Amino acid sequence: MEFFSTEFLSALLSIIIIDLVLAGDNAIVIGLAARALPKAQQKKVIVWGTVGAIIVRSLLTLAVVWLLQIPGLLLAGGLLLVWIAYKLLVEEKGHEDMKAGATIGSAIKTIIVADTVMGLDNVLAVAGAAHGSFLLVVLGLLISVPIVVWGSTIILKWVDRFPAIVYIGAGVLVWTASKMIVDEPVIAGVFAGNPILKWIFSIVLIAGVLILGKKKNQKTKVVEQAS
């Protein structure tokens, strides 16, 4: 993949969108973990907790990029990403059980552990969108993480005000998943030399997930209104 080529830039844009949509509420963990500390210490916890979380997430993403080169795992990762995209559409995320740290050390530890667990879907999605490029992973994180950390409140307000953002993000996730699946060496023969089939597969997969998610949300809304 050539530097600043159309393919490179589209993959980088996908990574940024994935980071913003999937990790938008992860930054709330930082505030919740630090809420019990004095104001003077909260800034220090936020900075070091974020640094630790970024380092751990970067290492995990790079490891997953390498693991996806193992035959069969690209297909498995793609299917898992399809499920993640669907869950993004229909599942409400909450942080009510998030515990605040009593000390600077415990708060930083809470942030790193919580972000790592919550960010596993993000790690897989970014690794898939990077197409084996470590440079894309690093650039994507450098661009999107500061936005996520410092602009999380704005991002969440946008998502609440414009639900279409979530559907766009889910579509990007499924698009990434479809590319992972068709690039899987184990089933490469099915799509080999047939780009039209690849496009049809991707479009049907994206449409299927978005339609199912939309129907599920409509059904849930009807049930809530009835009760």
| pLDDT more than 90, % of the chain | 11
Angle at 171 between CA 84 and CA 123, to 5 degrees: 45
Alpha-carbon gap, residue 173 to 24, rounded angstroms:
15
Half-sphere exposure of 80 (CA within 13 A, CB side): 15
Lowest mean pLDDT among 32-36, 82-86, 107-111: 32-36
Question: Is pLDDT of 210 > 80?
Answer: yes
Among 124, 4, 118, 2, residue whose Cα is nearest residue 64 = 124
Question: Predicted confidence band at 214 (pLDDT cuts at 50, 70, 90)?
Answer: very high
Q: What phi and psi, each to the nearest 5 degrees, are found at residue 30?
A: -60, -45
Contact 144, 64 (CB under 8 A): no
| Average pLDDT for 19-43 | 67
Q: According to the per-residue pLDDT averaged within each range, which of 4-18, 30-44, 105-119, 201-215 is highest?
A: 201-215
Per-residue buried b or exposed e for 97-131, using 16+ beta carbons within 10 Å of the residue's own CB:
eeeebeebebbbebbbebbbebbebbbbbbbbbbb
Question: Predicted confidence band at 170 (pLDDT cuts at 50, 70, 90)?
Answer: confident
Question: Predicted confidence band at 206 (pLDDT cuts at 50, 70, 90)?
Answer: very high
Question: Is pLDDT of 119 > 80?
Answer: no
pLDDT of residue 215: 93
Distances (CA, A) of 134 to 15, 61, 105, 119, 131: 12, 9, 31, 18, 9
Q: Considering only residues 113 and 63, tell me which one the structure prediction assigns the higher pLDDT.
A: 63
